[in-house]
Structure 1
Amino acid sequence: MLTKENTIIGFIGTGVMGKSMAGHLLKAGYPLYIYTRTKEKAKELLDLGASWASTPKEMAEKANVIITIVGYPTDVEEVYLGKDGLVTNGRENTYVIDMTTSTPSLAERINEEASKKGIYSLDAPVSGGDIGAKEARLAIMVGGDEEAFKQVEPILQVMGSNIILQGKAGAGQHTKMCNQIAIASNMLGVIESIVYAEKAGLNPENVLKTITTGAAGSWSLSNLAPRVLTGDFEPGFMIKHFIKDMGIALEEAEKMGMDLPGLALAQSLYKKLADEGLSDLGTQALYKLWHQG
C-alpha cells in the first residue's frame, strides 16, 4: 500500500505543463526524481530539490510511482516499452501514470505489458493548459484498475481538482478525445466571435465581458480570448500537439464508423498555421488566420 512515507516519485517531461505539475509534487513534500531529454529544462526543479535520473531505466530503479507527460505517442512508446523503458526495466508493485495525450490502443498495450511484470499502469491525460497546471486545478481523466487508481489518487490530487476514473485501460485517453473534440470547434467559434466583433466596430473587451457570462461561456472564451486581445500567443498548449490530438480523435472516430466534420475543419485550419511555421504557438493563435503578423 502506498503512503506518503514510502512513496518516491519519478517525473518524465518538464514542458509547459509538466514543470508546474512536478513543482507541486515537490512542494507537497514528495521525494522527486526528474528525467527530461534536455537536462537544462529541469534546472529550476533540480535547484528546488529534485534529483536527476539520467534515463527512464534509472528512474525505474529508483522510484515506485512514475508520472510521464511527453510529446507524442511515439515518445510514450519509447519511454515505456523501449530498451531503457519504464515497463521494460520496471519493478513489481511500481505504479506508472501516463498523463500524455496519446492513443487508447497504446494505453491498453502498455497496461497489458505492465501487468505481466506486476506493474500497475494508468492512463491519465489532463486538461486545463498551463493555467490549470500552475494553479493545480487540472481535470484528470483516468483509465485503468480501480484499486491502482485509489492508491495514487492522493498524488493526482496534488496536481488536479477534478479527477475521475473513467473506466478500464484506454478510457482516460478516450475521454481526452471527447475533451479535444469539444475544444476544437469551440476555439474556432471563439476566434470567429472576436474577429466579428472587430469587423463590426465593437470593443472586443466589452463584448467578452458580456458573452463570457451567458450561454456562450466556455473555458477558452474566458481564458484564451483575453490573451488574443493582448497579442499573447504563447502556448498554454502548442498547436503541434493539438493537431496530433485531433488526428488521434479522427482516427478513433473512423474506427467507430463516425464522422466528425467540426473536428476535421478545425484540424485543417490549424494545419494551415503549422504550414506557416507557427506550430509552437498556443491554440489561440488561430486568430492569425484572420490577422497575419
Structure 2
Amino acid sequence: MSKPHIAFLGLGLMGSGMARQLLTKGYPLSVFNRDADKAKPLGKEGAHVAATPAEAATHAKVIISMLADNIASRELWLGENGALANAAPGTLCIECGTVTVEWVKELAEAVVQKGCEFLDAPVTGSKTQAASGELNFLVGGSNESLEKARPVLMAMGKSVTHLGPAGSGALIKLINNFVCGVQIASLAEALAMIERSNLDRTSALEVLTNGAPGSPLVKAVSTRMTTPDFTPNFLLRLMAKDLDYAIAEGGNLSVDLTTAKAALGLFQQGITGGHGEKDISAIIEPFRNR
C-alpha cells in the first residue's frame, strides 16, 4: 500500500528530526515552519515546503504538529490559514507538542467537528532521539485512531504507549517533564554546593551519578553542566513553560506542585540571566555568576 501524504508543522529542534525521519522512510511530506529558513533543508531533501499550514494540509491524510506551546499550536491549527481549514474529512490530526490538557481537548473538539480524527501524542526524548527515530510517543485518543497512526508514529519512534482518551498523553507528558525539571533544578543546586566547597568536583559527581540519584537525565545533564556545553538539546525556556503548565494542571487536580514551583523559580532566573535559548543544563550558570 502507498504511504499517506503527511503535513508536518513545526521544524524546531524536535520537529526537524521527526520530519526528516518520515521523509527518509518514504512518506510524501509537506512541511511548514513560521521561520521559512528552517524548512529549506527539508525542501532540498524532497519535502514540499508550504507557505501556510493550510497549504501544507491540502492533500494530507495525516497532519502532525510539533510546536512550542499553546499559542503556537492554536495559531497553526485554527488561526488564519490554519491547517484545519483545509483538512479533508477523515484526516488524522496529531498534536505532538507539550501543551495543556485544556487546549488538547479544545483542539480535539474542533477536529471532530471538522469530521477528522484526533490524537495527542507528545514524546519523551530530545533532539538526538528525534534525529535518530528513537522517540517514545505518549498517546491520548481512541484505539481506532491510534492503530491508523501507529505506522507513522513508529517511523519516528521506538515505542507507543496508549494512556487513555484525548488529553491523557498531554497530562502524562507534563507530569514527566515536571519531574525532570525538579531533578535538573536540584542537580544545579547540588553542583553549586560542590563547586563552592573544597570537594573534588569529579569525585563528588561520581557519588551522585553512580548512586541512587543517578538517573539517565542527571548523568546527561551533569556532563553538560561541567563541560560546560549548553548547545540546545532541550531549550531552558521551554522547560520553564512546561513547569508552568504542569503547575496549572496540578491545580486543576487539587495538587499543589510545590517542588515544581521551586524549580520554576530557578529556570526563570536562568531566563532572566540570558540563558533561555540555551540547553536546560544552563540553569547552573546563575549560580556561577553570583
TM range (shorter): over 0.9
Residue number in structure 1 paired with 2:65:
68
How many angstroms does 1:283 deviate by? 0.9
Given the superposition, is the C-alpha separation of residues 206 and 137 from structure 1 closer, same or farther in structure 2, using an over 3 Å criterion? farther
Q: Does structure 1 conserve the Cα–Cα contact (< 8 Å) formed by 2:236 and 2:278? A: yes
Percent identity between matched residues is: 31
Q: Does structure 1 conserve the Cα–Cα contact (< 8 Å) formed by 2:3 and 2:26? A: no
Determine the C-alpha separation between the residues in 2 that align with 1:148 and 1:236.
Answer: 30
What is the SS of the residue equivalent to 1:188? helix
How many angstroms does 1:104 deviate by? 0.7
1:286 aligns with 2:283: yes
What is the SS of the residue equivalent to 2:145? helix
What is the SS of the residue equivalent to 1:118? coil
Residue number in structure 2 paired with 1:222:
219
Alignment of 1:128-167 (within 5 A): 128-167=125-164
Q: Does structure 2 conserve the Cα–Cα contact (< 8 Å) formed by 1:205 and 1:229? A: no
How many angstroms does 1:134 deviate by? 2.2
What is the SS of the residue equivalent to 2:172? helix
Q: Which amino acid counterpart does residue 90 of structure 1 have in structure 2?
A: A
Q: Does structure 2 conserve the Cα–Cα contact (< 8 Å) formed by 1:136 and 1:158? A: yes
How many angstroms does 1:240 deviate by? 1.6
Q: Does structure 1 conserve the Cα–Cα contact (< 8 Å) formed by 2:178 and 2:242? A: no
Determine the C-alpha separation between the residues in 1 that align with 2:106 and 2:125.
Answer: 26
What is the SS of the residue equivalent to 1:87? helix
Q: Does structure 2 conserve the Cα–Cα contact (< 8 Å) formed by 1:157 and 1:163? A: yes
How many angstroms does 1:131 deviate by? 2.1
1:40 aligns with 2:66: no
How many angstroms does 1:207 deviate by? 4.2
TM-score, normalised with respect to structure 2 = 0.94
Determine the C-alpha separation between the residues in 2 that align with 1:94 and 1:205.
Answer: 53
Residue number in structure 2 paired with 1:172:
169
Determine the C-alpha separation between the residues in 2 that align with 1:17 and 1:292.
Answer: 30
How many angstroms does 1:25 deviate by? 1.0
Given the superposition, is the C-alpha separation of residues 42 and 203 from structure 1 closer, same or farther in structure 2, using an over 3 Å criterion? farther
Alignment of 1:14-163 (within 5 A): 14-163=11-160
Q: Does structure 1 conserve the Cα–Cα contact (< 8 Å) formed by 2:137 and 2:159? A: yes
Residue number in structure 2 paired with 1:244:
241
Q: Which amino acid counterpart does residue 49 of structure 1 have in structure 2?
A: G
1:275 aligns with 2:285: no
Q: Tell me whether 69-78 or 134-143 shows the greater mean CA deviation.
A: 134-143
How many angstroms does 1:157 deviate by? 1.2
Q: Does structure 2 conserve the Cα–Cα contact (< 8 Å) formed by 1:205 and 1:226? A: no
Q: Which amino acid counterpart does residue 187 of structure 2 have in structure 1?
A: V
Structure 2 residue ranges without an equivalent (≥5) = none
1:9 aligns with 2:17: no
Q: Tell me whether 199-208 or 59-68 shows the greater mean CA deviation.
A: 199-208
Determine the C-alpha separation between the residues in 2 that align with 1:112 and 1:28.
Answer: 31
Given the superposition, is the C-alpha separation of residues 209 and 162 from structure 1 closer, same or farther in structure 2, using an over 3 Å criterion? farther
Determine the C-alpha separation between the residues in 1 that align with 2:107 and 2:207.
Answer: 46
How many angstroms does 1:208 deviate by? 4.1
What is the SS of the residue equivalent to 2:137? strand
Residue number in structure 2 paired with 1:265:
262
Q: Which amino acid counterpart does residue 114 of structure 2 have in structure 1?
A: K
Determine the C-alpha separation between the residues in 2 that align with 1:160 and 1:207.
Answer: 35
Q: Does structure 2 conserve the Cα–Cα contact (< 8 Å) formed by 1:142 and 1:165? A: yes
Determine the C-alpha separation between the residues in 2 that align with 1:277 and 1:94.
Answer: 41
How many equivalent pairs are there?
290
- Structure 1 stretches (4+) deviating beyond 3 angstroms? 199-211
TM-score, normalised with respect to structure 1 = 0.93
Q: Tell me whether 192-201 or 242-251 shows the greater mean CA deviation.
A: 192-201
How many angstroms does 1:210 deviate by? 4.8
What is the SS of the residue equivalent to 1:250? helix
